[in-house]
A and B are shown apart, each in its own frame.
Chain A
Amino acid sequence: MLLKVNGLETHYGAAQALFGVNLTVSEGEMVALLGRNGMGKTTTISSVCQMVTPTKGTIEFCGHNLNRMPCHKAARLGLGLVPEGRRCFPNLSVLENLSAAARKGAWTLGRIYDLFPRLQERKSQSANTLSGGEQQMLAISRALMTNPKLLVLDEATEGLAPLVRGEIWQAIARLKQEGLSILIVDKTLKELLPLADQAVILEKGESVWTGRPDTLTEEMKDRYLGL
Chain B
Amino acid sequence: MQRTDTAPKPVSMPKLSRETIVNIVVMAILLAVPLWASSIGEDYYVNLASLITIFAIAGVGLNFAIGQGGMVSFGHAAFFGIGGYTTGIAAFHNFEETLFMSMPFAVSGTNQMLIIWIVAMAVCGIAALAIGAISLRTEGVYFIMITLAFAQMIYYFAISWPAYGGEDGLSIYLRNELPVVDAESALTFFLVCFILLLGVIFATARLSGSRFGAALGTAHMNGTRLATSGIDPFPIKLTGFVISAMITGLAGALFAELNGFTGPSMLSWQRSGEIMVFVILGGVGRLCGPAIGAAVFVLLETYIGEWTEHWQLLLGLALLGVVLFARGGVMGMIAGSARHD
Measured CB to CB, the residues of A under 8 A from B are: 49, 51, 70-73, 75-76, 79, 81, 83, 87, 89-93, 96-97, 99-103, 124-126, 129, 142-143, 146
Contacts and interface: CB of A to CB of B under 8 A. Distances in A.
A79 B227 CA distance: 11
B231 interface: yes
A126 B230 contact: no
A141 B211 CA distance: 16
Contacts of A99: 211, 214
B310 interface: no
A146 B218 CA distance: 15
Contact of B211 (A51, A100, A143): A100
A71 B214 contact: no
Question: When A and B form their complex, which 4 residue pairs have the shortest distance between CB atoms, in order from nearest?
Answer: A101-B229, A75-B230, A100-B214, A126-B340
A87 B218 contact: no
A101 B218 CA distance: 10
A72 B225 contact: no
Interface residues of B, number: 19
B232 A96 contact: no
Interface in B209-226: 211, 214-215, 217-218, 221-222, 224-226
B9 interface: no
A146 B230 contact: yes
B339 interface: yes
B218 A92 contact: yes
A103 B230 contact: yes
Nearest to A71: B227
B340 A124 contact: yes
Contacts of B233: 72
Nearest to B230: A75
Contact of A125 (B214, B229, B340): B340
Contacts of A103: 230
Contact of A100 (B215, B227, B232, B339): B215
Contact of A72 (B211, B230, B339, B340): B230
Contact of A87 (B214, B217, B225, B227): B225
Contacts of A97: 214
Interface of B: 211, 214-215, 217-218, 221-222, 224-233, 339-340
Nearest to A99: B211
Given A71-B227, A99-B214, A126-B339, A87 B222 contact: yes
A70 B227 contact: yes
Contacts of A96: 214, 217
Question: Chain B at the A interface: mostly helix, strand, loop or mixed?
Answer: helix
Given A102-B211, A124-B340, A125-B340, A49 B228 contact: yes
B5 to A, nearest CB: 25
Contacts of A124: 340
Contact of A91 (B211, B232, B339): B339
B214 A72 contact: no
Contacts of B229: 72, 75, 100-101, 142-143, 146
B227 A91 contact: no
Nearest to A76: B230
Nearest to A143: B229
Nearest to A96: B214
Contacts of A70: 227, 232
Contacts of A81: 228
A89 B221 CA distance: 7
Nearest to A49: B228
Contacts of A142: 229
B146 to A, nearest CB: 23
Contacts of A51: 224, 227-228
Nearest to A125: B340
Given A99-B211, A101-B229, A91 B224 contact: no
A46 to B, nearest CB: 9
Given A71-B224, A125-B340, A89 B232 contact: no
A72 B232 contact: yes
B203 to A, nearest CB: 18
A49 B230 CA distance: 10
A89 B218 contact: yes
Nearest to A79: B228
A92 B221 CA distance: 10
B222 A72 contact: no
Contacts of B231: 72, 75, 100-101
Nearest to B338: A91
Given A51-B224, A75-B231, 15 more contacts: A49-B228, A72-B226, A72-B228, A72-B232, A75-B229, A76-B230, A79-B228, A83-B228, A89-B221, A89-B222, A93-B340, A100-B217, A124-B340, A126-B340, A146-B230
A92 B230 contact: no
Contacts of B339: 91, 93, 126
A79 B229 CA distance: 8
Contacts of A92: 214, 217-218
B266 to A, nearest CB: 34
